[in-house]
Amino acid sequence: MPEIGIAGLIVILIVALLVFGPKRLPEIGRSLGKGMREFKDSVTGQDDKAELPPPARDEAPPPSSPPSSS
């Protein structure tokens, strides 16, 4: 199987740039990287998201304004 050298990578990048355009290429790379990271984490069983504790609530309810008598 032939190896892809520097020249081959440059040709692939130029073709991708022509096909997708300069605006969409970073978005595609970002989503591809995110998908590969999620796949790796699911295979290895690692989860970077730590469980956050529930927000602390005050025991006393907030003061309410007394009903106005009109």
End-to-end CA distance of the chain: 89
Whole-structure pTM over 0.85, yes or no? no
Query: Distance of CA 13 to CAs 19, 20, 24, 39, 64, Å?
Result: 10, 10, 13, 24, 63
Q: What is the DSSP letter of 70?
A: -
Residues 6+ apart with CB under 8 A from 28: 20
- The pLDDT tens digits for 13-61 are 899 999 999 889 889 999 999 999 999 988 887 665 555 566 666 666 6
pLDDT the model gives residue 2: 77
Which pLDDT belongs to residue 69? 63
Break the chain into its structural domains and give their ranges: 21-45
